[in-house]
Amino acid sequence: MLAAAAVTLTACGSGDSKKDQPVADVSMESAKDRAATVLDKPFKKPDLVLKDTHGKKYDLREQTKGKPVLLYYGYTNCPDVCPLTMSNIAVAKKSLLQKKAVTKAELDKLQVVFVTTDPERDTGKELGKWLKAQDPEFVGLTGDFPTIQGSARTVGISIEPSKKLKNGKIESMHGTQVVAFSPKSDAGYVVYNGKDATAKDYEQDLPKILEGRNP
């Protein structure tokens, strides 16, 4: 039986605060040089109902049931981690198809869901335009902030309301984790740190994630 460790979730942007940050039980089999952390106690998929980029109701549990899912909380005006994370996943998908490591039918089962942490600015239209530049198959969700924040907490991710900085810019603090959900159990069993996980990491792990196996 592998021991469990606690990992502190970080936030995107400057001025990270460790106060009241959640922790997750993780398996020690995830070495320091690995991007993926396999959870000893998987997260339940958030009971989250928001609007997609077309303004239609989207029930996360219902519409991703039995499918492999990568869930990420971020915002379109994010200067660094958010676009990099989405780009890495998109590049990994394209590479897997080019190398014929998976079939298109297999990869089509993957649901990459981006939930905005800045719903006041990230309207469905803005979110859709931003995600389309990354991968038109990505799902974008927006809605009221308390609902979004509450759902993030259930998977160990801390997010804060957007705030205006002294320089006039608006910042949205959020955890940078990508949570992978198994198609077998619908549980979030693997966590990636968006700051560290590369396109190569996702390319290596996705064939296993698609089947619900440990990367």
Instruction: Quote the mean pLDDT of the chain.
Output: 87
Does residue 28 carry a pLDDT above 80? no
169, 167, 149: which is closest to 157 by C-alpha? 149
Is 78 among the annotated ligand-binding positions?
Answer: yes
10, 32, 28, 8: which is closest to 195 by C-alpha? 10
Task: Please give the Cα distance from 40 to 3 (Å, whole number).
Answer: 9
Task: Please give the Cα distance from 125 to 62 (Å, whole number).
Answer: 23
What's the pTM value of the predicted model, to 2 decimals? 0.86
Predicted confidence (pLDDT) per residue in 67-77, tens digit: 999 999 999 99
Q: Which domains does the chain carry? A: 36-211 (3.40.30.10)
Is 12 among the annotated ligand-binding positions?
Answer: no
Predicted confidence (pLDDT) per residue in 170-191, tens digit: 878 899 999 999 999 999 999 9
Q: Which residues contact 73 (CB under 8 A, 6 or more apart)?
A: 114, 115, 116, 117, 148, 152, 157, 159, 174, 175
The better pLDDT of the pair 213, 19 is held by 213
